[in-house]
Each structure stands twice: as structure tokens, then as C-alpha cells.
Amino acid sequence: MSSAAKRPSGLDEIAISKLPLKKQQQIKRKVAAASTSFHWNSLYMNTDAVMSSISDRLGIPKSELLDPTSSNAAVKQAHAETHVIQETKSYFSASGVNLDAFKRKERGDTAILVKNFSYGTKPDELHKVFEVYGTIRRLLMPPSGTIAIVDFVQADHARSAFSALAYRKFKDSVLFLEKAPKDLFTSDAISRTEGTSTTGRARGAKHSTRELLESMQPQQSVNTSTLFVRNLSFTTTSDRLREVFQPLDGLLSARVKTKPDPKNVGHVLSMGFGFLEFRTKEQAQAALVAMDGHNLDDHELLIRASHKGADAAEERRRDDAAKKLAAKNTKVIIKNLPFEASKKDVRSLFGAYGQLRSVRMPRKFDSSTRGFAFAEFVTAREAENAIDALKDTHLLGRRLVLDFAAEDEINPEQEIAKMQQKAGKQADKVALQRLVGTGRKKFNLEGKDDTDVY
């Protein structure tokens, strides 16, 4: 039985060009939306672990964050998840992880993303579980303790671990495993897991670079003058870090990485790691030898060379230039928005990243929401900051999909208002015609009764 030939799926540009301009724009938007690919959220984190981490860090009970009587409990949870995700990204980036790899679909064969484990799980505990299946090159776990990366030396060991441990019960939760993206690491990091470190060295008077290098044991070669310090206490400040490292020769700066406190406006929270900048590479190498494993505020410091320190200023300039090109406007479109979310929730969530000019939630004729919204900021920089911070955040269980709104984006509410206004004018015209009659009359001004109706 013969069948009709399959119609080509491509668009006929000639036919489209003959359509009205408004129709052409609608077709182009539909094609662009259909070609957009969405990937699984590789940075998914156990919500309970996220809230436990935040409550432990802020020193408040978790019940206060999850208070069901609060009108903005969902927004609080979204802010908490956003903070943890940003902290995790910063930690992974400083540890040599290529964050752009998460945007690609290709998967590697040696690294595994470990998720959904309980809060309080130590890196050593995960290491013991995975090392049964082969030699581990590195294990990375951010200070929040909500996600981890396990990188094996051999691909077959990684496959064995993935097959055996996926969806396996671990403590009071179930492990979620995902193959990490291909080319996940920017360079070969130190084959050291979290929780293991060298023995701390005593500090005395100011050490010279030569003295420290002479007593140095074989370690990693430092090719940069900037060091990455992790496992810092959340109470350690930049001033405290600078005070401890000041006796070392060649120290230029010491800073603890911080993020805005979503609970207290104007305050910041430590992210558990920082950076040290020295005058020369040799001085940085000497500092690593002297202070790796040092106990600071009851935390044993883990120090390594910073992969981002070699050309930090140039990278910042490049990033700023790229962001300026990307930030074309100040309006953000929020897709996959929960239908239960209100305009107040959107304003509370996005208002933490800048001054909002307006928030708009298009609605249907029955007043129900359409599942998306628009947030317009005062500046393009604020809009970009909001997208960068919230693009992996969940609100009421749904992952928000954010992007800059198109410049010619149609306002559905304005379109509906125009349609209603047009329909009202037509109704008034019909009513007026009924009042004056359905036809036109010609009257004879000379008084003769010869009116013609037509």
C-alpha cells in the first residue's frame, strides 16, 4: 500500500518571507525554541542535605528554614540552594574543574558525580566505598558536603564502581551516580583526596625562601605565585588568614572567598576556602611546604597551587568583556516556573541580586499562570548576576530555566488588553448601528416623500 511522501521538515524561506512581519517573528521564535536542548542538572543536590548544611553554618535549627507557616519558605530554600551551588562551583573551579564541561552532553569514562548522600558524610567515608573497585586519582567534595566527584585512574574501575554503587543505599539515603562530562578537569590535579594531608609544620620567626626550599620534600611543582587554601573554618576571616601567613617571605595578599548572606542583607558568609598571592613562584612553593597541614582555628589547612592564579587579572578582563557582550538587555525570562509561585515569590527570589524595575507573570483568561514570568532589572549587570546565580536553582521542586528575554518579546498581557479593547470597540459599533438602523437613508430636502433606502 503506497503512502504519501513525507513532507520536508525544513521551512520554506520564500514562503515565510511573504508572510506578515509579526508572523515571521513568531515562526522564528518557535524554531529557535524547538532547537534548544536542555541537559540534566548535573549539580543536583539533596534538598535535605542543602538545608542541613545551611542551618549548620548559620547556627539555626532547620525547622526555622523549613517553617511551613512562613509565606516565603520556598524562596528561603531556593536562596539556600543557590548559595550552596555557587559555593560548589567556585570550589570546583579552584580545584581545576572545567565548569563549561557541564554544558556538554559527551560523558567521560573515569570520573563519576556522586549525589544525594546525607549531610555530614565525610570524604574518607566515600573514599572507602569507592576504593574497593580501583585506584582513585582524586576525590573532590566542596565545603558544603552535598556533592562529590570521584575520579578513577582506569576507566574499567570507574565502570565497575558505577554499576555496583548506583542507587545503592548509603547510610540513610540512596546514592545517585552520574558519569561526569568529558574533559572535566582543566589539568591533572594532585592525586589527593579530601581529608588527607601532610603533617603540619611548626611556625617560628619569619622564614626565608631558601631555608624552606632546602628542607623541602618531593611535592607538587608550583608554576604560579598564587596558592589555593581550602578546609578553612567558616569563622576565619581574610584578616585572620593574612595574620597567620604574614611571617612568610613575599606575601602580597591573603583573602577568604565570601558570598552575600541571603538571610542578612549587607553581610557575607565564608565559603571555606581562600587564596594567597606571593611575589614569586619560589616564595609560593616555600609557603606551600611550610604551611600545608597547618592547624588554623581547629581546621587543618589543605594548600595547593591555584590553577587560576597564573593569569588572574587577564582572565578577569576577558570574563568582564564576555559578560558585557552577553548582557544585551535587562529583562530576564523565567521558564519552568511552578504554577503555585506568585509574583511576590519571584520578586523575593530575584530581588536579592539587584534592583527590580518590574516583575510580570502572564496569565490565561481564567487568571491561572502560564508557567513563565519576566523580571526586569535596572542594569544589565544585575540581570546577568541573577542568571548566573539562579540558573541551577529549584523553586517548589522545579528547576528554573533562565535566559535574557528577546528584545522583540511580545507582552501577552498587552496583547490581550489590545484584543479586549478592539472587541469592545466592535461591540460598541454594533450597538450603535442597532440604535440608528441597519441601513443608510437619503432624505429629500425639498420636502418630497421619495426617501430611498439602500
Residue 446 binned pLDDT confidence (cut-offs 50, 70, 90): low
Q: Span 89-108, mean pLDDT?
A: 83
Segment 294-304, tens digit of pLDDT:
888 888 888 88
Q: Which of 276, 270, 186, 286 is closest to 232 using CA atoms? A: 270
Tally the C-alpha atoms within 13 A of residue 249's C-alpha that lie toward its C-beta.
17
Q: How far is residue 202's CA from residue 206's CA, in Å, rounded to a whole number?
A: 12
pLDDT at 151: 93
Query: Contact, 271 vs 87, CB < 8 A?
Result: yes
Query: Contact, 195 vs 124, CB < 8 A?
Result: yes
Q: What's the grid cell of residue 78? A: 531556593
Query: Contact, 320 vs 327, CB < 8 A?
Result: no
Distance of CA 369 to the CA centre of its chain: 25
Q: Provide the mean pLDDT of the chain.
A: 75
pLDDT at 454: 47
CA–CA distances in Å: residue 260 to residues 69, 87, 209, 355, 386: 26, 11, 37, 15, 13
Does residue 150 register a pLDDT over 90? yes
Q: What's the grid cell of residue 389? A: 546565580
pLDDT at 315: 53
Does residue 451 register a pLDDT over 50? no
Q: Which residues pair with 60 in a beta bridge?
A: none
Helix/strand/coil for 451: coil
Segment 367-413, tens digit of pLDDT:
888 888 999 888 888 888 888 888 878 888 788 888 888 755 555 56
Residue 340 binned pLDDT confidence (cut-offs 50, 70, 90): confident
**Statement: the pTM of the whole predicted model exceeds 0.85:** no
Q: Which of 217, 199, 220 is closest to 301 using CA atoms? A: 199
Q: Span 277-293, mean pLDDT?
A: 84
Does residue 142 register a pLDDT over 70? yes
Residue at grid coordinates 564502581: 161
pLDDT at 174: 87
Does residue 313 register a pLDDT over 60? no
pLDDT at 214: 46
Q: How far is residue 92's CA from residue 125's CA, in Å, rounded to a whole number?
A: 20
Does residue 221 register a pLDDT over 80? no
Q: Span 193-200, mean pLDDT?
A: 38
Helix/strand/coil for 361: coil
Q: How many residues does the chain have?
A: 454
**Angle, CA of 18, 21 and 25, to the nearest 5°:** 110
Edge-to-edge strand order for the sheet containing 147-152? 136-140, 147-152, 107-115, 176-181
> What are the DSSP calls for 195-243, one per residue?
T--PPP----SPPPHHHHHHTPPS-PPP-SSEEEEES--TT--HHHHHH
Q: Quick one: what percent of the chain has pLDDT higher than 90? A: 9
Does residue 219 register a pLDDT over 50? no
Does residue 195 register a pLDDT over 80? no
Please indicate whether residue 35 or residue 271 has the higher confidence score (pLDDT): 271
